[in-house]
Structure 1
Amino acid sequence: MHTVRIFLLAAVLSGGSADSSRKLSVLVGTDVTVSCLFDALNQLVEWSALTVEWNMVDKHAQKNMVYTFEDGKAHVSRDNSVVDRNGLLRSNASLLLRNVTVADEGLYTCRVITPVVHIESTSLEVLARPSVLLPEKAAVIEGEEKTILCDITGFYPEKLAVTWYIQNESHIVQAGSSPLSHVCTEMAVNNPDSTFNIRSSITLHSSAVKSGGIKIICQVDHSTYISPYSKSVTLTLQGKFT
């Protein structure tokens, strides 16, 4: 059997190791590459002399092994995680994570032994953008109240703010500031995939609605938005049935 060798070009670090840390953000369902570029020996090295270890400490402080490369063989603990074997020839032990989930959030540490030890850490933040559902149109019967629901689903992290506004032509006021409107936002509910759902509602009395109708705005503020995201519904006045 022929011995497979790697020709490593970079110079040996004087201290024998490198330590760096960075932060990376990624959306749920996408792929991400966690970087690990090491300084290699300037001599021929056998596969058996190269060890790569990737571990992750999650938000519960639990340490998990993700990927190891040892004695020329890869051992994958997290499905759909890859270190490019050819990349190792270029001193690149970066980790590719496919189809990221909330469970992948944590501190990733790459440890490469050539036999020089290289350690590199990256904090991976996982984000899931909310889906906001609001009816386009609604009507309130004269003399009665109408409740409109803003359904916000599949977001992460949990921190999220909902604000309601009432727009009458060009005049906009925050809802809930008068007895004619009432806002209720429930506690966030955790989904099986660790994302969250939340429901917020506004109840208005018909006397708050002008004859031409008003616009009700549900504004959502979340870390996945550069600026708050808004959806609106037109609320019209409907006469009583005879």
Structure 2
Amino acid sequence: MEYLGLLAALLVLLHQSGALLKISTSSPQRAFAGSDVLLHCTFSIGGSSIDPRLLVIMWFYQGKEIVKYQDKLEISHPRVSFDERAARIGNASILLSDVKIEDEGIYMCSVTYSSEKMEEEIILNVLVSPKIQIPHKAVGDNNEKTLVCSVTDFYPVDIAIIWLRDGEIVRNSSMGKIQRNINGTYSVDSTVSITLHQERKKQTFSCRVRHESLPVPLQEDFQLVYGAQTEETSTIPVIIGVCCAAALVAAVGIGLFIWKQKSSKKASGSFTLSDIDGPDKLIDGEVVTLSCTGDHWPKNPRVTWLEEKAGVDPESIQSHGGDLEEAERLLNMSYVIDTKHMGSQRWSSNLRFTFHVANHKGVTFICRFTSGKTTHEKRFHCNEVYGKNVCFINIRINHILTKTENLLYV
């Protein structure tokens, strides 16, 4: 009996000393610049409850301490947040907001419980999607033409660029030296020399880009403009008097002002926003993805998702990044927003969440694009829904686009 009592005491001592401490992380993780990412780190004490007095949680980035939780919370990173209540039940994750390229690197989650300490490294990779520009599409009477495809603002540095003529690969292309931009992204030009055929003017040329940040290749298609003056042939020497020169400058200035005004109005009027694409059936407990795409937005639009309930003003939805199921399980974060630049002035935004009849029946989700003083929005209305094992009830989806001049938001 004495032996059994001694053994039980030893087991209790081992438990109290933290011998059953386990830690779990997810690595590597990826995040787009400008998004939020949840760096996962959870721990357990052999299924027992956690005594906060014995717990110390620390986070390091590239060896430098950024978070320390021991009775009180200390954070030395301006864009990192930590949930103390979650930490007391085994979740040591941190949320990194507005991810930047300089946030890429190795993070370490360190958990100490009583006398036992465990650490795990998490590698964060940051992504920025490239943009394509074809600056010169006009050709003169020459037999040859050098085409340039400028690929800008991408990260990381590895990239592949190919040229196509009517869908067939053009083999004699070359890529210039990759340049590093001030903001940490990269840019590069790819060129190809082609022989012009007057009888084949309708050929379609394409610049196709593959990059780690792109789920599918980014491609710009175009046709050459024949008979236009190129930069090399358009310069004509002109001699004018001082008075005439002043008048010409004034006329050009007025013309540019009028042109900019018209261009601004035209650009504003060309902004488009697709209807929100969502599932035909809304089932209680299932993950829902709503998608909205904007075209012809010359500047980076501000994309906002809102939730509107009957009799209540719309509320902005906050995204916590990362994987929806993991985020909801760990910190009860219910929405994930992913907005990406798809090239050619196209932007796509997705809203993912777990649909619950109690929370979402009768709710209207709003996707709002804003650039300067121009705002477009679309609505997805959940009118009648159904739970599992219930006959399907027709769902009415209303899409509303309010006129731009009536939509000015502060």
Q: Which TM-score tier does this pair reach, normalised by the shorter chain?
A: 0.7 to 0.9
**Counterpart amino acid of residue 158 in structure 2:** K
**Counterpart amino acid of residue 49 in structure 2:** N
Question: Cα–Cα, structure 1 residues 27 and 36, in superposed 2: closer, same or farther, change >3 Å?
Answer: same
Deviates more, 1:215-224 or 1:16-25: 16-25
Provide the rounded CA distance (Å) in 2 between the counterparts of 1:129 and 1:239.
33
Question: Cα–Cα, structure 1 residues 118 and 64, in superposed 2: closer, same or farther, change >3 Å?
Answer: same
Provide the rounded CA distance (Å) in 2 between the counterparts of 1:44 and 1:53.
17
Decide whether the 8 Å contact of 2:24 with 2:43 is kept in 1.
no
Structure 1 segments, 4+ long, off by >6 Å, are none
Secondary structure of the 2:102 match is: helix
The Cα of 1:161 is off from its aligned counterpart by 0.9
Decide whether the 8 Å contact of 1:20 with 1:119 is kept in 2.
no
Which structure 2 residues correspond to residues 85-96 of structure 1 after superposition, within 5 A? Answer: 85-96=84-95
In structure 1, the partner of 2:169 is 174
Structure whose alpha-carbon radius of gyration is higher:
2
In structure 2, the partner of 1:229 is 218
1:106 aligns with 2:105: yes
In structure 2, the partner of 1:156 is 155
Secondary structure of the 2:199 match is: coil
Q: For each residue in 1:207-242, what CA deviation from the matched residue of structure 2 results, as whole angstroms up to 9, or x when unmatched?
A: 3x534421111011111223322111101432899x
The Cα of 1:24 is off from its aligned counterpart by 1.1
1:124 aligns with 2:114: no
Residue ranges of structure 1 left out of the alignment (5+ in a row): 1-10, 58-62, 178-182
Q: For each residue in 1:174-199, what CA deviation from the matched residue of structure 2 results, as whole angstroms up to 9, or x when unmatched?
A: 2245xxxxx33211111223211111
Provide the rounded CA distance (Å) in 1 between the counterparts of 2:209 and 2:131.
10
Q: Percent identity?
A: 23
**Counterpart amino acid of residue 186 in structure 1:** G
In structure 2, the partner of 1:66 is 66
* Aligned-residue RMSD, C-alpha: 2.7
Provide the rounded CA distance (Å) in 2 between the counterparts of 1:232 and 1:19.
46
The Cα of 1:17 is off from its aligned counterpart by 4.9
Question: Cα–Cα, structure 1 residues 159 and 218, in superposed 2: closer, same or farther, change >3 Å?
Answer: same
Decide whether the 8 Å contact of 2:21 with 2:43 is kept in 1.
no
Q: For each residue in 1:141-197, what CA deviation from the matched residue of structure 2 results, as whole angstroms up to 9, or x when unmatched?
A: 223433332111111111101111111xxxx332245xxxxx332111112232111
Question: Cα–Cα, structure 1 residues 211 and 119, in superposed 2: closer, same or farther, change >3 Å?
Answer: closer
Q: For each residue in 1:15-37, what CA deviation from the matched residue of structure 2 results, as whole angstroms up to 9, or x when unmatched?
A: 44546562211111110000111
**Counterpart amino acid of residue 189 in structure 2:** R
Q: Which has the higher contact order (CA 8 A, sep 6+)?
A: 1
Q: TM-score, normalised by structure 2?
A: 0.47
1:45 aligns with 2:52: yes
The Cα of 1:43 is off from its aligned counterpart by 5.9
In structure 1, the partner of 2:181 is 191
Provide the rounded CA distance (Å) in 2 between the counterparts of 1:192 and 1:98.
21
Secondary structure of the 2:42 match is: coil
Residue-pair matches, total: 212
Decide whether the 8 Å contact of 1:20 with 1:120 is kept in 2.
yes
The Cα of 1:45 is off from its aligned counterpart by 3.4
Question: Cα–Cα, structure 1 residues 156 and 132, in superposed 2: closer, same or farther, change >3 Å?
Answer: same
Question: Cα–Cα, structure 1 residues 122 and 229, in superposed 2: closer, same or farther, change >3 Å?
Answer: same
Question: Cα–Cα, structure 1 residues 22 and 143, in superposed 2: closer, same or farther, change >3 Å?
Answer: closer
**Counterpart amino acid of residue 50 in structure 1:** L
Question: Cα–Cα, structure 1 residues 80 and 20, in superposed 2: closer, same or farther, change >3 Å?
Answer: closer
The Cα of 1:56 is off from its aligned counterpart by 2.3
Decide whether the 8 Å contact of 2:21 with 2:113 is kept in 1.
no
**Counterpart amino acid of residue 131 in structure 1:** K
